[in-house]
Structure 1
């Protein structure tokens, strides 16, 4: 297995159209074994030729077994001695599944993946919060052994599941899809790009999971994200909107394993009565309510309605106000009717979708240490990019006042850098030209004579090309250059102490596009270089700004591997920083014998750093693998 050119992805099949068969009596329903048959049948012809119904599929499967050819449904598992088998951790212990390997994509990697089919397949319309917790738990069990996860899920409640899992998984790096035509696109995204979010993939578009809604039951464009553009699109090329991607926080991955079921939605309609609202909000009933109001968060100001809401909020019910409109947000301060709701304790939900507001309420109310007042505060704050923060007072600043310390540098780059010519002898594109008269004197005022890009987008492109190089150089220097560059770019730190907040930068070069850009021919990131230079202070700086601990170079190694190779205090300090940020050694590094060999060498010198990096049990397993390889 070529570790440097393969990525591992685990597909969790929960149910959905992609694995359904038509029953003679009850219509289409998920059928055990059928999805795996599609992908693990070597010829591919027999299963598709006999997949018109449950009866036809069962007849084909039985024929395969009687002829001595074990069907995938019958075969189920692989031997652990199969070199291509993938180990998957389950609630009943580890199992080994047969794997498939894609052709090499344009991005340079092949994706090895396995399908873990749930024993009880469900139609998505019957999904429960307990199913979301199971999915989150299965991902947590297998998190260290895979580069990405794809959850195959029916479309009816896909937006609900994506929203719920965006809060249950911390930090985030999973993917969702529900169409066979989108599986390749899903694999490309999951295997090649570090996007630490729950994504919903449909019709070649990757949406932030908690921003998407199902807009059509018939159209190919079934899902829409009305208030946030797609984070990635898959076509001839893969386009990732890195400036919109959330930055990974400096904490380990974990799954939150509880949700409150005491939540509900209430949709306003003309003529709704206070009696109806009181019955809906009766004591010992719901603890959280998503109120779907009109327009920008408006509702009737009748006292019977407001008093019913007031009574509920005073006894601790958290009510979140979202709009019934597809596009837009709740702005409680615009209209008097919206202010009336805010005065009785109803908190504005911004541009959150109903699905997301429900999931967020369920997540926050499951935390017993939070008071209703704290839940209301957190509802109005973006935790997973689910709502767009709005400045309380509109502000304006001239774009020419930003990045003043870099202005001279990039002005010179525009003049000296290579340009594209339309034709021989023509004026270079993106080059400022000063008009002159016959005597050669400038005819424009001096203020217009400076050499600046045609647009600010051109300036941003130049910075995007130059800044990764500057940061990579600074990462391996034992001085304050890295901190100076961070300050110049005005990149805020991610708070490591908060488990419920995620800060984002509005800067056009927001991370992770910048700090996680490969900086060497080995595709090492600035974090790799800081580790190789044994500079814990730079490692800490990069992690606090969102550098990913999961990026691997062409040798298949993450920064943690190189940190563990360092002896002494600096190596130990870097390992602790990386582990605290969620770093782990990959299964491929262990399988190839790299970890075990280094651990054996370190032990001879009395160094226990590999135990710090991986744990005693993993180190022992790695040493056994290495001895089989090299001794």
Structure 2
């Protein structure tokens, strides 16, 4: 029961938060009774947890000052009345409510431009809390629910109050380790119940992105833009354009088309399964320097049990170098084990040691925060300090590394753009193309085919060369097949291992609804199946619907090899 929050008669602002999940499925034919969109893909089984954390909302009715409070279990009924967020006719024609449990919490969107439907289910947390009252325990609750339902859904959406949304997005980005599916936070400045609001667009955009695109990050969607969650900060309390990502362009823009900047998407680059680390150190804080700050203030702030500090400094990471008393207090704290991160107070820019005033803090033992937001730096510090198995120096090194795309990094590692390659240039010349947009269109059309061919023949050197030109190795061809699909079909174990190590997703589906795991099972490549399962690949509930018949057929024919493959892939677990 997700709820954006209903206030008896007059609601002036949305600020609840909920969790949505999605399960994707492709139907080769429509469910019985459905007569339209016969060739649609289906992203459904969406899981929604209503964990409403409401910001304080005040309004004035005829000079009577009132405090508005949320009404529980009201959002689903409101969404059912909004055609852009629920297609009741389709739900009735396909008997959708008979398939999804509980039916009273299940809704379905109309067919999208990508020829998919998103069915989402809403689950509500209780009690409803103010988003300003968020703690690490609440973050852990969200993370554990994502982990609990991770294999059932293709994506998750959290509706959250805007006041602390950036903190939650940053915290979840570190807590969710080896994430392979989208987690999208969103909310609104004006509630969905108002005639003029931003809640409908924000919710719809978050659902469409989480349900259709495999973006393995914790993100924040607001005002038609998708941001990396640990890169955002709230900059406006009274505008629909409330959030910005100062040092990183949006991951996606929802314009006439939803345009994903795949080159910017962060990937785990690992063969480890998804886990949620809920251990966060609470003994951390933010200290903002200001002219005239006293040594006593700094000393008091740095006293035990404080374990870590994000020090917000001037400009590019500067502090007064003529204040020996301040530097002495900072140095004493770092010497007794307090870890401090140097972050700039500026909205944009990065911390450097170009000035003597910045070098003084580095000499005192501070870790440079580069271009991290204070929200991200605080969450990262809390996450790293909770790792009891690491020494102080190891924790500092970990804080200096780019863990989730939270700080400046060369994501693509590209020395040369594929657009600059001789091959692309020759094709562009033959087609009389000169403008950048058309050149990029050629690149986007040809690159998936090139990487899929290299994957088919097992040419890791070619894949590596293409990747170094800035190519995303999860790009899909015209049939939605990624290089990992091809390698899984061919049984190229080394290629599969290489692709997974470079961030290829095991959750991508082609136009037939097949994942790389399904391909590996079909062509009976045991070692590939084992590796994909180790990485976290799994069958969804929908993929397993027809496996009973297939398993019975294999058993009847005495096909032990086929049964063994299904067992390795987890097929028996879903048919217990």
Range class of TM-score, shorter chain: 0.7 to 0.9
Contact kept? 2:160, 2:186, Cα under 8 Å: yes
Q: Give the Å deviation of 1:20.
A: 8.4
The alpha-carbon deviation at position 413 of structure 1 amounts to 1.3
Q: Give distance in 2, aligned partners of 1:81 and 1:157.
A: 36
137 and 322 in structure 1: CA distance in 2 versus 1, 3 angstrom threshold: same
Shift of 1:411: 3.5
Q: CA RMSD in A?
A: 2.9
Deviation at 1:129, TM superposition (A): 0.7
CA contact 1:20–1:34 (8 Å) conserved in 2: no
Q: For 1:28 and 1:534, how far apart are their aligned partners in 2? A: 60
Q: Does structure 2 conserve the Cα–Cα contact (< 8 Å) formed by 1:177 and 1:183? A: yes
| Matching of residues 121-270 of structure 1 within 5 Å | 121-172=128-179, 173-179=182-188, 180-181=199-200, 182-249=202-269, 250-270=271-291
| Counterpart contact for 1:31–1:121, Cα < 8 Å | no
* In structure 1, C-alpha distance between the alignment counterparts of 2:215 and 2:100, rounded to whole Å: 26
Say if 1:12 and 1:149, in contact at 8 Å, map to a contact too: no
Q: d(CA) in 2 for partners of 1:405 and 1:225?
A: 27
In the superposition, the TM-score normalised over structure 1's length comes to 0.75
Query: Is residue 2:307 matched to residue 1:351?
Result: no
Q: Are the structure 2 counterparts of residues 128 and 404 from structure 1 closer, same or farther at C-alpha, using a change threshold of 3 Å?
A: closer
The 1:244/1:406 distance shift into structure 2, 3 A limit, reads closer
What residue number does 1:305 align with?
326
How big is the shift at 1:120?
Answer: 1.1
User: Within the alignment, does 1:487 sit opposite 2:500 as a pair?
Assistant: no
Show the counterpart of 1:6. 42
Evaluate the alpha carbon distance shift between residue 235 and residue 406 of structure 1 in structure 2; reply closer, same or farther with a 3 A threshold.
Answer: closer
How far has the Cα of 1:535 moved from its partner?
Answer: 2.4
Contact 1:164 1:356 in 2 (8 A): yes
Out of 459, 471, 478, the residue aligned to residue 451 of structure 2 is 471
Shift of 1:18: 10
Counterpart mapping for 1:536-615 below 5 A? 536-567=493-524, 571-591=525-545, 593=546, 595-603=547-555, 604-607=558-561, 608-614=564-570
1:153/1:411 CA distance change after superposition, 3 Å: closer
CA 138–25 in structure 1, closer or farther in 2 if over 3 Å, else same: farther
Task: Say whether residues 1:375 and 2:389 are aligned partners.
Answer: no
Partner of 1:318: 339
Q: Any residues of structure 2 matched to 1:497-536 within 5 Å, and which? A: 507-509=469-471, 511=472, 515-521=473-479, 523-536=480-493
Give the Cα–Cα distance (whole angstroms) in 2 for the partners of residues 6 and 244 of structure 1: 27
Distance 2:58 2:318 in 1: 46
Deviation at 1:367, TM superposition (A): 1.1
The answer for the alignment partner of 1:37 in structure 2 is 77
- C-alpha spacing 1:558/1:43, structure 2 compared with 1 (3 Å): closer
The separation in 1 between residues aligned to 2:466 and 2:455, in whole angstroms, is: 15
Map of 2:37 onto structure 1: none
* Higher relative contact order (CA closer than 8 Å, sequence separation 6+): 2
Gaps of 5+ in 1: 45-79, 87-94, 392-398, 420-428, 431-453, 492-506, 622-631
1:556 shift after superposition? 1.8
Contact 1:84–1:99 (CA under 8 A) maintained in structure 2: no
Indicate the SS of the match to 1:464. Answer: helix
Change (3 A) 1:309 1:403: closer
Indicate yes or no: 2:356 matched with 1:330. Answer: no
Contact 1:560 1:578 in 2 (8 A): yes
Contact 2:55 / 2:130 at 8 angstroms: preserved in 1? no
Partner Cα separation in structure 2 for residue 124 and residue 101 of structure 1? 28
Deviation at 1:275?
1.7
| Equivalenced residues, count | 506
Paired with 2:107 and 2:175, the residues of 1 have a C-alpha distance of 29
**DSSP-derived class of the 1:31 partner:** coil
Q: CA deviation at 1:519?
A: 2.3
For 2:520 and 2:55, locate their aligned partners in 1 and report how far apart those are by CA, in whole Å.
43
Identify the match of residue 294 of structure 2 among 273, 279, 282: 273
Deviations 1:126-158 (A, max 9, x none): 111100000000011111111111101100000
The answer on whether the counterparts of 2:281 and 2:382 sit within 8 Å (CA) in structure 1 is yes
**1:16–1:155: 8 Å Cα contact kept in structure 2?**
no
**Preserved contact between residue 17 and residue 178 of structure 1 (Cα < 8 Å):** no
Name the TM-score, length of structure 2 as normaliser.
Answer: 0.82
Q: 1:606 to 1:307 in 2, by over 3 A?
A: same
Verify the 8 A CA contact 1:100 1:112 in the aligned structure 2: yes
What SS is found at the alignment partner of 2:282?
A: coil
User: Residues 419-461 of structure 1, C-alpha deviation per residue, up to 9 Å, x if partnerless?
Assistant: 4xxxxxxxxx42xxxxxxxxxxxxxxxxxxxxxxx66x76554
Deviation at 1:220, TM superposition (A): 1.2
Whether the aligned pair in 1 keeps the contact of 2:284 and 2:308 (CA below 8 Å) is yes
Give the whole-Å Cα distance in 1 for the aligned partners of 2:419 and 2:148. 47
Structure 2 CA distance, aligned partners of 1:43 and 1:355?
A: 37
For 1:405 and 1:323, locate their aligned partners in 2 and report how far apart those are by CA, in whole Å: 36
How far, CA to CA, are the matches of 1:508 and 1:162 in structure 2? 27
Give the Cα separation in 2 of the matches to 1:348 and 1:121. Answer: 38
Q: 1:85 aligns with which of 100, 107, 132?
A: 100
